[in-house]
Structure 1
């Protein structure tokens, strides 16, 4: 059986390592999504980048929730939660922007 309590304990015990990976990964892949959108790359590339970024952001949200479960309410938990939510929203906006303006003449015209 899958034990969520053991997974939550693992998450809290390895917090520094998890955050050391997730914070830069979230930022880099979200920036990649924005760059791909600005460079007018094909939608599948933007969707792939946004999916990876959203996965990392979701893992960070779950990691922060393990701290909320035991009552740790400090500035780092809110900062990490804000970062993850910001990355999710940014990726969603990039997808919507690309979807809305990909077929417009001013977006696809390089002049």
Structure 2
């Protein structure tokens, strides 16, 4: 049987290194998946990047859960859990319904474009 205590101990002993690697990996790979959807890249390419990004996000969530198991409840644990959850949600959106994400990005781009030119009304 697999001994989880060694895995938990590794997670706690190397927390800073794990977070230093997973936080940028989460943000960059999720952003890359969004860009690939926006550029209408092939589905296989989008799925590969989003799948890898989902693995990073899931590892982040699992790492934070190891801290919850021993009772560490602090602001950084909630921030990292939120980051992992948001990245995982976005990657699931990329995989399951890229068309709606593309529409959302188009609307967002138009709104930001009108804000930049100053033609948007405040009402």
Q: TM bucket by the smaller chain?
A: 0.7 to 0.9
Aligned equivalents of 1:71, 1:101: Cα separation in 2: 37
TM-score under structure 2 length normalisation: 0.78
Aligned equivalents of 2:29, 2:8: Cα separation in 1: 25
- Residues 21-63 of structure 1 show CA distances to partners (whole Å, capped at 9, x for unaligned) of 0000000000000000000000001100110000001111110
Give the structure 1 partner of residue 60 of structure 2: 60
Count of matched residue positions in the alignment of Structure 1 and Structure 2: 102
* Unmatched tracts of structure 2, length 5 or more: 103-123
Give the structure 1 partner of residue 14 of structure 2: 14
Report the alpha carbon displacement of residue 100 of structure 1 after superposing the two structures with TM: 5.9
Q: Deviating runs (4+, > 3 A) in structure 1?
A: 99-102
Give the structure 1 partner of residue 96 of structure 2: 96
Aligned equivalents of 2:97, 2:84: Cα separation in 1: 20
* Unmatched tracts of structure 1, length 5 or more: 103-111
Does residue 1:30 correspond to 2:9, yes or no?
A: no
